[in-house]
Chains A and B, each alone.
Chain A
Amino acid sequence: DTEVTQTPKHLVMGMTNKKSLKCEQHMGHRAMYWYKQKAKKPPELMFVYSYEKLSINESVPSRFSPECPNSSLLNLHLHALQPEDSALYLCASSQDKGLPIGLFGPGTRLTVL
């Protein structure tokens, strides 16, 4: 299995909703990442997990809450989002956080109403 999978593909939520994005990889990679990408822009790093521990938080608002339940899974819990949080959320993994990312997931396209 050489891919990063993300669910759901699309998500529409209201500002009072609580939802979660899920990311999975079975390549034995020990670093996993969440990126946010606005239209026609490069991705922006949000969080880095290394060996299931949060390694980097790029000053992301607390309405985004990451979780790494095991070495294959990465979640992003969403609560009280704003319309400006609408974006493509990409998950990625690499063998180690010091090594390049070769593979991103297809992303979850989030719309906040």
Chain B
Amino acid sequence: AQSVTQLDSQVPVFEEAPVELRCNYSSSVSVYLFWYVQYPNQGLQLLLKYLSGSTLVKGINGFEAEFNKSQTSFHLRKPSVHISDTAEYFCAVKLRDSNYQLIWGAGTKLIIKP
């Protein structure tokens, strides 16, 4: 069965420091990969997605992620975080050959310390 694991439930980091949020998935078939962000008391917004092509994907707000097929990972990175990046971040996958929708990770709360 397919699954998505976000290894850290919370990641505290100082403002202007770099951050990496980890995501690993398990699937026997090819997948599409996504990162969504949910700011406090808001809905979800797509940060970036990997569908095919270059394994380094750039998204909004200075975030990027790298797809590593051999390690089945899709870690999210930002070189310098701001207070405004405080949010919950969800990794999700979609099976390529399925009309079915997303399989979600449990989420990682990014906490920015001043």
Question: Residues of A at under 8 Å CB distance from B?
Answer: 6, 33, 40-43, 45, 48, 55-56, 88, 90, 92, 97-98, 100-107, 109
Contact = CB atoms under 8 A, between A and B. Distances in A.
A40 B107 contact: yes
Nearest to B105: A42
B104 A42 contact: yes
Contact of B99 (A42, A97, A101, A102): A97
B90 A100 contact: no
B99 A98 contact: yes
Interface of B: 32, 34, 36, 41-46, 49, 51, 88, 90, 92, 94, 99-102, 104-107, 109
Contacts, number: 51
Interface of chain B: mostly helix, strand, loop or mixed: strand
A50 B66 CA distance: 32
Given A97-B99, A100-B34, A100-B49, A106 B42 contact: yes
A43 B44 contact: yes
B99 to A, nearest CB: 5
Contacts of A107: 42-43
Contacts of B41: 109
Contact of B106 (A41, A56, A101): A41
